[in-house]
Amino acid sequence: MLLSRTRQVLLPLASSSALLSFAPTRNMSSSSSPFPAYLLHAPFLAVQPPNPADGSSAPGQLLQRTLPPAPLYYTHPAPKNPPGTAPPVVSLTPTDPIQGRISTVYRATAPTGEKLVLKYGTDLLALMREAEEVYVNLPAGGLPIPTFWGIFEGKVLEEQTKSLVMVMEDCGEPVQGGFEALTRAERQKLFDALDTFHSIHFQHGSFSPSSIVARPASTPSETVSPLSATTEAPARKLTIVGFSQAEWHLCPGVDSCNELVEARRVLKLDEPVEV
């Protein structure tokens, strides 16, 4: 048993031939909505690594979904696929993986173009705890955190052992230059997000510049930050990541909480506003 605190979903194991029949999945999204509901409901995902430089074919891996489900699972119905439909294929990006505290992080692309990260767990309990206590409990939408697509059993590369793999939205690149590289409005929005986490009894646990990633705000839904009532369109969308040390928290208030007081200091929000 890989999971100690969460009941495992028992699904029929795919035959070895399934690994040989990976094909780009079509019509995965609903015709009435571009939302990729298949990423929430597909019982299996196929992982296809880049082909080696020598032209040989790299073996693909099959991930089997397990609990807990993402909150969005309940608000987006599963697309209809006939029996025998091949599992959706996510293609690994030919970039070096990132070694984190509890996982090795790979980048990938979904069949419908969504950018993903696959967190291959090196600390299974910590990875499951992050999924259960953060991404399953924080409200879906409205908070600057990655979309959580699910937890799977399997491995990303052939040479790895079976583990847990968390599939999430790829929210961009680390912000260069630390908090000093952010505008005051961006720093205020980050603090407001932390304050919101605390109001629903979570603390981040390791808030730092490495916890912030950014990407261009290129879609209509991203032109106005959900953290602020301002109508000024930002040039980029900031997302808070790195919740492996997050925990339940009874916050004593913005002026007494260690994490919020320290965040306000490092974000330099008490300094006079330059005119």
Q: Tens digit of pLDDT for each residue in 17-73? A: 333 333 333 343 333 447 899 999 999 999 999 988 887 788 899 999 998 898 899
Question: What is the pLDDT, as a whole number, of residue 201?
Answer: 92
Question: What is the pLDDT, as a whole number, of residue 146?
Answer: 95
- For residues 246 and 220, the answer to whether their CB atoms sit within 8 Å is no
- For residues 127 and 114, the answer to whether their CB atoms sit within 8 Å is no
Query: Distance between CA atoms of 61 and 154, rounded to whole angstroms?
Result: 8
Burial class from Cβ neighbours inside 10 Å (0-12, 13-18, 19+) for residue 72 reads middle
CA-CA distances (angstroms) from residue 267 to 186, 191, 213, 225, 262?
Answer: 10, 8, 15, 18, 8
Q: Which two tokens stand for residue 227?
A: 């953290």
Is residue 14 over pLDDT 60?
no
In the chain, pLDDT over 70 holds for what percent of residues? 80
Question: What is the pLDDT, as a whole number, of residue 140?
Answer: 61
Question: What is the pLDDT, as a whole number, of residue 275?
Answer: 57
Query: Distance between CA atoms of 261 and 197, rounded to whole angstroms?
Result: 14
Least confident window among 59-68, 194-203, 233-242: 233-242
Question: What is the pLDDT, as a whole number, of residue 59?
Answer: 87
